[in-house]
Structure 1
Amino acid sequence: MTVTKGFIQLLRNPGLSEQDKEYYMITALDALEKAESIITDYLTFAKPSLENVKVLDLLTELTSIKNFIEPYAAINNVEIEMSLEENIYSAGEKEKLHQCLINIVKNGIEAMPQGGKLKVELKRFRSNAVITIADTGVGMNEEQLERLSSPFFTTKDIGTGLGTMVVYSVVKAMDGDIYVDSTPGKGTSFTVLLPTVEGLDTAI
């Protein structure tokens, strides 16, 4: 917010060139988007309970998430590969599920600074939907894995750790489980298990 305020103040300078104005506006908007993301993550973590719970078609939701995040993946030279089974449903709040899975996907993309492949798989195992998101990035060591669900822990140079906390909070609120497997230099795999329900487009 401070960054945005500063650049807006600079925009009041009548002697600015159009190029400078464009740069200041882009930078200010970028700062606002980051602030919005942090606030959204914080609110979700602070209030993990679900509202407006509906039956969600997980293939549809994962496809929507891919379409949303694909431009960001392309910029980072990351290919998203999908393998999704049909007719798998779970009960949850659409917006929070998207927030949770986008955080995992975004982390996977950012873990591959030289580019790579992100694999997203959806399948059924007994009474659970199994969502696996695996990258070919830098990976994590055992200590980092153990601290992954700790409050405000992050492996990034710049980050709050809120995104990962949101992932665990949302999965728990949906009565699910999450498992992480990682090898330094080879990549990380997040496996999210969510209980399945019948495929009815109704509120719970």
Structure 2
Amino acid sequence: MHGLEVSWFACISLLIFFLITTKLKPFYNNLPMIKKIIFSGVLILFMSVWIMAGVKLLFHVPITIELFLSYSLIQSFGIVLIVYIMESNKEKQSLLSKIIQMEKVEVVSHLAASISHEVRNPLTTTRGFLQLVNESDDIPAVEKRYIKIAMQELDQAESIIRNYLTFAKPAPEVIEILNLKKEIDKAINIIVPLANMNIVKLSSESETCYIKGNTGLFQQVLVNILKNAIEAMPSGGTLSIEGTVEKSLAKVTITDNGVGMNDFQRKRLGVPYFSTKEIKGTGLGMMVVFRIVESMNGSLNVESKPGKGTKITLIFPLNSSG
């Protein structure tokens, strides 16, 4: 009966600490492993003190120093050990995933460097001859339509090879100081016709700041992401691009309210040959995006939920001299 009489205190304490840990979860997730371990130990120590103090003050149960120390230390040591094991396994899993990803990237890079030029040359020659045939007056209009389709397919193949070449050698030969606001405006001007065709409303707001990179490659990054965002809204929607400065970092945030991605799709974004467009996509566009961003010493973060859209954040070191 005594246990039932004090159960209300245990229930209330559990509820309080559940609410506290839920509130602190975002803060906890952003901590490095050592700080997570320390934070967890301190939190459990505080919980142990709370429980012991409540038992003594509310129910007048005698608490000795030995009991207090043993209870608190066992609780704290246990949670510290559990957090250490969990975070170590998480880091190992993350490292293993990166190694696998790097191996795939290396294979694609070698493949791209070895065959892209050899394949590109005959494609260019073939397209040139088709262009000459298409200009002939002896070819009926119906057959010219077939020639046009063939030329479009050759252009698509050439685009894929160009992506391979960019992927194999993403480091720009010319490094420039880029005005982030102007680069965003330039990318929007390029993508406006596609947005209008798909009934997508564009909104843009950017601070004037500067980053290091190559304007051609950076435009490829922005246009690829914007194009994917528009294609993710087949029934129309809103696409926003925001450029901001936080401390020593420049951030470009691109948000759409399209079909979104599940966790599996989001984690595999940028993996060679994986595409959310199924048979219509090759996955090379985002693969190149990741590689170019990496070559600019930047990072790319993706947040997405099915049916609620996607937010992609590009982060680059800020260049103080414009």
Shorter-chain TM-score range: 0.7 to 0.9
Q: Deviations over 1:57-92 (max 9, x none)?
A: 010011011101111111111111101112x10000
Higher Rg of the two aligned structures: 2
CA deviations 1:1-48 (Å, max 9, x no partner) are 6xx86x94985794613xx36644653443343233212211111112
Please say if residues 177 and 212 of structure 2, whose CA atoms lie closer than 8 Å, have aligned partners that are also in contact. yes
The alpha carbon displacement at 1:52 in A equals: 0.2
CA RMSD of aligned residues (A): 2.3
- Would you say the 8 A contact 2:203–2:240 is kept in 1? yes
SS of aligned partner of 2:261: coil
* CA deviation after TM superposition for structure 1 residue 175, in Å: 0.5
Q: Taking CA–CA contacts closer than 8 Å with sequence separation of 6 or more, which of the two structures ends up with the larger relative contact order? A: 1
More strand per residue: 1 or 2?
1
Does residue 92 (structure 1) correspond to residue 216 (structure 2)? The answer is no
1:132 aligns with 253
Aligned counterparts of 1:180 and 1:53: Cα–Cα separation in 2: 26
1:107 and 2:228 matched: yes
Confirm or deny that 1:46 pairs with 2:175: no
Size of the aligned set, in residue pairs, is 194
**Is 1:65 the counterpart of 2:187 in the alignment?**
yes
Name the CA distance, whole Å, in 1 between partners of 2:238 and 2:214. Answer: 28
Identity of aligned residues (%): 43
Cα distance in 2, alignment partners of residues 132 and 34 from structure 1: 29
Separation of aligned partners in 2, 1:14 and 1:63: 45
- Contact 1:8–1:24 (CA under 8 A) maintained in structure 2: no
| Cα pair 1:57 1:199 within 8 Å, conserved | no
- Which AA in structure 1 matches 2:240? K
Report the Cα distance in structure 2 between the residues aligned to 1:29 and 1:116, rounded to whole angstroms.
32
Indicate the residue corresponding to 2:274 in structure 1. 153
What secondary structure sits across from 1:35 in the alignment? Answer: helix
Equivalences for residues 117-128 of structure 1 within 5 A = 117-128=238-249
Residue 179 of structure 1 corresponds to which residue in structure 2? 301
Question: Structure 1 regions of 5+ residues with no counterpart?
Answer: none
CA distance in 2, matches of 1:163, 1:116: 22
Q: Cα 1:73–1:126, aligned 2, differ >3 Å: closer, same or farther? A: same
1:130-152 alpha-carbon deviations (Å, 9 max, x no partner): 00111111000011111113222
Give TM-score, length-normalised by structure 2: 0.56
- Summarize the Cα distance change of 1:13–1:160 in structure 2 as closer, same or farther, 3 Å threshold: farther
